[in-house]
Amino acid sequence: MQINRVGVIGGGQLAWMMAGAAKTLAITLAVQTPNNTDPATSLASETILASITDAEATARLASRCDAITFENEFIDIEALSALADRGVQFVPSLSVLEPLLDKYHQRCYLRDLGIPVPEFVALEDLGENLRAKIENPNFSMKWPLVMKARRHGYDGRGTTIVKDLSELEATWEKWGRDPVLLEEFVPFERELAAIAARDRSGEIAIYPIVETQQEDQVCRRVIVPAALEPGAIAECEEIARTILNSLQAVGVFGIELFLTPDAKILVNEIAPRTHNSGHFSLDASETSQFEQLLRAVCDRPLGSTALRSAGAVMVNLLGTERSLLDYGAKREELAGFPGARVHWYGKTESRPGRKLGHVTVLLDKSELPIAHEIAAILESIWYSTRV
């Protein structure tokens, strides 16, 4: 069956960027999203206004589309299974998403596959059990530890560093005592990411490995490509291939990695969708990650992941305040930076930490060593107090 009509569960910036790619491929893109001001509603061919966990709404979306994909993982997989049983095609399939949605299950999946991951345990209840687990001599993790909500975390929400048992207990209490993932704090040298696509025939295309820089657990900037030894690049690519082949995954996946001071590569997390660390591909790659996802969903050959320039730097434009401003002057100033492309998601309201847009600057070879300085200039424009 030819797939020309794609539905997306979610209507945020990722679906918005997918809509641009859909146009290039002459695919119609419908979205299911709760608010009529959500970014993708302005470009989608149709919007189903509903919560993303509303399976009846997804059934309506599916009745208008040939296949359904995702822009986030906050879905109700059980409810969607009933639709899959009735023939709705999800890409990636629900069996691929199943081991990935819960951070603890994902860690177990990767460990069982032999992929290096930070040391981790699940904590399911408080009190004596917690103390016993932490104080058990077999528990080799040392403070500080990283505590993560098993589901529904994003941009650092649901991830926190705890320095001792009393802080851990207090945070867990604050989080409503839900089961959490507890893991060693990795004193990484750098964070890296691999954006990888796999199609139905099993072909895999991997974008250049990038360096990502987070502050307060939120991605601030991405350097393309990461300055790495060829051996480290090959290792990241092999990890991506192993994971995608093992899952028999179809789609685009963001794989977040830690590079440790002793040159080990650990997987932090897999996002079963397009990813912030791949936004550079809109301007810097032959095929953007958004077009690549639609190609995989629609069973078209994957596109080239080659860079069009020697490199690039991507800076997220994060909200700093609650406001209804559109920051036009700052956006213009950013757009005036040589080689810069500004992507503004059209959100109607700014909030501290909210991703409002991003800017990518293409780099020639001579500029690669100053990528960090360029990122700093872009941030000084965006975060300046000038209005």
Binding residues for ligand ADP (CB under 6 A):
118, 146, 148, 153-156, 158-159, 183, 185-186, 191, 214, 217, 256, 268-269
Which of 277, 146, 290 is closest to 214 using CA atoms?
277
DSSP assignment, residue 312? E
- In the complex with ligand ADP, which residue's Cβ is closer, 220 or 241? 220
8 A C-beta contact, residue 179 and residue 193: no
Q: In angstroms, give the least distance from the CB of 148 to ligand ADP.
A: 6
**Quick one: 150 or 198, whose CB is closer to ligand ADP?**
150
Instruction: At 222, list the tokens.
Output: 């991405």
Q: Return the residue matching tokens 């990461």.
A: 226
Residues pairing with 49 in the sheet: 33
For residues 55 and 209, which CB has a smaller minimum distance to ligand ADP in the complex?
Answer: 209
The nearer residue to ligand ADP, 118 or 319, going by C-beta atoms, is: 118
Closer residue to ligand ADP, CB minimum distance, 93 or 217 = 217
Minimum CB–partner distance for residue 244 and ligand ADP (Å):
19
Q: How many helices (H) and strands (E) does the chain have?
A: 12, 17
Cβ pair 27, 91 in contact under 8 A: no
The residue among 297, 272, 249 whose CA lies nearest residue 241 is 249
Closest distance to ligand ADP from the beta carbon of 297 (Å): 23
Closest separation between CB of residue 73 and ligand ADP, Å? Answer: 9
CB of 39 to ligand ADP, least distance (A): 20
Sign of CA dihedral 288, 293, 294, 295: positive
Residue 275 vs 331, nearer CB to ligand ADP: 275
Tokens coding 111: 């460990």
Is the CB of 133 or the CB of 220 nearer to ligand ADP?
Answer: 220
The separation between the first and the last C-alpha atoms of the chain, rounded to the nearest angstrom, is 52
Contact yes or no for 15/47 (Cβ under 8 A): no
Min dist. Cβ of residue 289 to ligand ADP (A): 17
* CA–CA separation, 360 and 313 (whole Å): 6
Angle at which helices 165-174 and 128-135 cross, to 10°: 140
Q: Residue 153 Cβ, how far from ligand ADP at the closest point, in Å?
A: 4
Nearer to ligand ADP, 10 or 153 (CB): 153
CB of 118 to ligand ADP, least distance (A): 5
Percentage helix, strand, coil, to 5, in the chain? Answer: 35, 30, 40
What span, in angstroms and rounded, lies between the C-alpha atoms of 237 and 223? 17
